Amino acid sequence: QVQLVESGGGLVQPGGSLRLSCEASGTLFINAMGWYRQAPGKERELVATATSGGNTNYADSVKGRFTISRDNAENTVYLKMNSLKPEDTAVYYCNAFVNPRLYWGTGTLVTVSS
């Protein structure tokens, strides 16, 4: 059974930075890992994804501010978030595609507020 554990969320002021981490256990190979977020009253949306081969994809709203990276040896994915805005406030979820299933973490809350 694949388990994902996120960490690194918290309260940060507008313009600040945070780095989220997500460690996967229970599998040796993960095809793709990613971050999604869900703000209060909104649907869950894509933030960024990264394949095992190094290809990345970002939502337009975070391009140039967020960077996703992976440590394949450690089955860990990171999300470095810079220039945070109040509209980035959400619960951030990690996911991992281990063919043929998609697994989700339980989420970590990021609050951007002064």
Beta strands in 1-114 (DSSP E): 3-7, 10-12, 18-25, 32-38, 45-51, 56-58, 66-71, 76-81, 90-98, 101-104, 108-112
Kindly report, residue by residue over 40-64, the tens digit of the pLDDT: 999 999 999 999 888 999 999 999 9
15 with 114: CB under 8 angstroms?
A: no
Kindly report, residue by residue over 81-105, the tens digit of the pLDDT: 999 999 999 999 999 998 899 999 9
34 with 49: CB under 8 angstroms?
A: yes
